[in-house]
Amino acid sequence: MKLFAFSLACAFALLASSLASAAIVEHTFRIENTTIKRFCKEQVIVTVNGSFPGPTINVSEGDTVIVHVINQGPYDVTIHWHGVFQLFSIWADGPEYVTQCPIAPKSNYTYKFNVTKQEGTVWWHAHASYLRATVHGAFIIHPRSGQFPFPKPYKQLPIILGDLYNSNVEDIAAEAQDSGGGPNTSYAFTINGFTSDLLNCTEDVTFKMKVKQGNTYMLRMINAALNYDLFFKIANHNFTVVAVDASYTERYDTDIIVIAPGQSADVLFTANQPIGSYYMVASPYVVNFDAFNRNIARGTVIYDDAPPSSKPMMPILPPATDTETAFKFYSNVTSKVGAPHWVPVPLKVDEHMLVTIGFGLELCDSKNASNNACAGKFRQRYSASMNNESFAIPPGIKMSMLEAFYNNVSGVYTTDFPDKPPLKFDFTNLHNANNMSLLFAPKSTKAKKLNFNSTVEIVFQNTALLEGQNHPMHLHGYDFHVLAQGFGNFNNDTDRAKFNLVNPQLRNTVGVPLGGWAVIRFRADNPGVWLMHCHMEDHVPWGLAMTFEVENGPTPSTSVPPPPADLPKC
């Protein structure tokens, strides 16, 4: 009896301790214009609370997050919590016109959600127009136990890689949409908002990281750049990758990190070199760009007791087109079986999809173009599509897609997104790059309907239309297993032998290489309307997106809850 009483007391104590460790984390985000000085001039950017990048949110797994967004800026805005599952809290996901109407200037909205079944580094960013260029920040989910599945590092710090433009990004976006062409390239890359000492007028505003010899640091890395995969190196130092997209991995040792737009990685870095100064550098990885930002972001790792006059050592950078190095990194990471929140690959597949992704054209609307010609190829407007459907929100929309789903309203979207492209052709053959019969896809607002708890397998097939590019595909609301990646046309008979069904990496964003493919699998256990899109920002308004409509589960607790009272109206 005494033993039972003791055990019961221990159980209650553990329960109380567990409940006590959960907390409410509350922030206020004030969206506002802020003047910064870069590139020898002052410029106005949109920020959160006047900082670039915006504030870091630190939570523990199990916490409740409340963020009051007060829009004092000049543009409509939403906030997306990139990589956060939003389990049964889809109203807080954020993409404009998909899960909510935008927060208008002089309006407010409060995001409220729980952070469960995940830990690691994700991030938050604006999900309206091009505002995420400067409206973004780190979102760090700490283990509730305080323990990692590897030795605890001495310190942890966010490393947010981004880019800056030399004029207002909303003006750039509007000009591109009016002309039908592509947006201007960014002017400089950034590390935690700082550029490079190689640029004029920025010698005194570079990122500096102080380290103590012998200590190990965890770099919580995020690629917030609008349109660039990025290489990252520190001269004479190596890294150990321990997590990607807030999912633990087997330790992967490398001297270079490659990170696509939208992706994150937790990376261990040990200060084990002679006392001195070493450059850290972010440089672009690009394929098939005619014009791109050729600058680099350069910060400095400075050891304690390093002489002030010591000249930093520069790393050897890969060529901007080094696909071999990028693909080696992207394809060699594996998940850590048995780590916290690890889930095995579902073996029974209910829905098989082959989804082509690539560029195309839209007929020029001459009223918005000069000389009856648009700025895209063949004097048309640039477009993009998935399975020959180019995503577009209907004009004059009165509610979000999620509101239409919740209220069973028709006319906002349809549920007939195709499981495969309407025409099978040699997808990666450059001879088809300018085939006019393949370049024009209809504009539509379509979802793929999924049963609750069904398992979905998607083969992403990149196409060579208009010669193509890499596409980092991001799925809202879920992580997915990346079963395999490769080049050429996916061959269902031979490439399935390459599937890793034991310990594939878990991600929310996967890079589909130019001239190649990637295969993902996930279980649709989170109801609502979820966006899937390319995280290259200029590809989204062209139409490189679609949605999943996941039906409600069998109980109220497994269904989409009622919308918040302050949900913005269109």
453-471 pLDDT, tens digit each: 999 999 999 999 999 999 9
Residue 11 confidence class, pLDDT cut points 50, 70, 90: very low
Mean pLDDT of the chain: 93
Evaluate whether 179 touches 368 at the Cβ level (below 8 Å).
yes
What confidence score (pLDDT) does residue 361 get?
A: 97
Query: What is the pLDDT averaged over residues 167-188?
Result: 89
How far apart are alpha carbons 370 and 462 in whole angstroms? Answer: 32
What confidence score (pLDDT) does residue 367 get?
A: 54
19-140 and 153-319 in the same fold? yes
Backbone φ and ψ of 263, nearest 5°: -85, 160
With a cut of 60, say whether residue 500 has pLDDT above it.
Answer: yes
Q: Which amino acid is present at 328?
A: K
Residue 368 confidence class, pLDDT cut points 50, 70, 90: low
Residue 114 confidence class, pLDDT cut points 50, 70, 90: very high
Tell me the percentage of the chain whose pLDDT exceeds 70.
95
Residue 20 confidence class, pLDDT cut points 50, 70, 90: very low
Tokens 């049963």, located at residue: 451
Beta-carbon-side half-sphere exposure of residue 24 (alpha carbons within 13 Å): 5
What confidence score (pLDDT) does residue 198 get?
A: 87
How far apart are alpha carbons 236 and 243 in whole angstroms? Answer: 22
Contacts of 167 (CB under 8 A, 6+ apart): 43, 184
With a cut of 50, say whether residue 405 has pLDDT above it.
Answer: yes
Of 63, 110, 117, 108, the C-alpha closest to 85 is: 117
Rg (CA), the chain: 23
CATH code that applies to domain 349-556: 2.60.40.420
Query: What is the pLDDT averaged over residues 92-120?
Result: 98
Q: How many CB atoms lie within 10 A of CB 203?
A: 10
What confidence score (pLDDT) does residue 458 get?
A: 98
What confidence score (pLDDT) does residue 202 get?
A: 61
Query: What is the pLDDT averaged over residues 495-510?
Result: 98
With a cut of 90, say whether residue 412 has pLDDT above it.
Answer: yes
How far apart are alpha carbons 224 and 48 in whole angstroms? Answer: 15
Residues 529-567 as b/e (b if ≥16 CB within 10 A, e otherwise) read: bbbbbbbbbbbbbbbbbbbbbbbebeeeeebbeebeeeb
What is the CATH class of 19-140? mainly beta
How far apart are alpha carbons 506 and 233 in whole angstroms? Answer: 24
Can you say how many angstroms the Cα of residue 152 is from the centroid of all Cα atoms in its chain? 26
Residue 5 confidence class, pLDDT cut points 50, 70, 90: very low
Tell me whether the omega of the peptide bond preceding residue 53 falls within 30 degrees of 0, making it cis: yes
With a cut of 50, say whether residue 17 has pLDDT above it.
Answer: no
What confidence score (pLDDT) does residue 13 get?
A: 37
Burial class (CB in 10 A: 0-12, 13-18, 19+), 28: middle
With a cut of 80, say whether residue 143 has pLDDT above it.
Answer: yes
Q: Which of 217-226, 301-310, 370-379 has the lowest mean pLDDT?
A: 370-379
What is the CATH class of 153-319? mainly beta
Query: What is the pLDDT averaged over residues 174-190?
Result: 89
Query: What is the pLDDT averaged over residues 538-543?
Result: 94
What confidence score (pLDDT) does residue 310 get?
A: 86
What confidence score (pLDDT) does residue 370 get?
A: 54
Q: Give the DSSP H or E segment for 231.
A: strand 229-234
What confidence score (pLDDT) does residue 3 get?
A: 32
Delimit the domains of the chain by residue range: 19-140, 153-319, 349-556
What confidence score (pLDDT) does residue 551 get?
A: 98
What confidence score (pLDDT) does residue 12 get?
A: 34
**Higher pLDDT pick, 410 / 184:** 410
With a cut of 60, say whether residue 271 has pLDDT above it.
Answer: yes
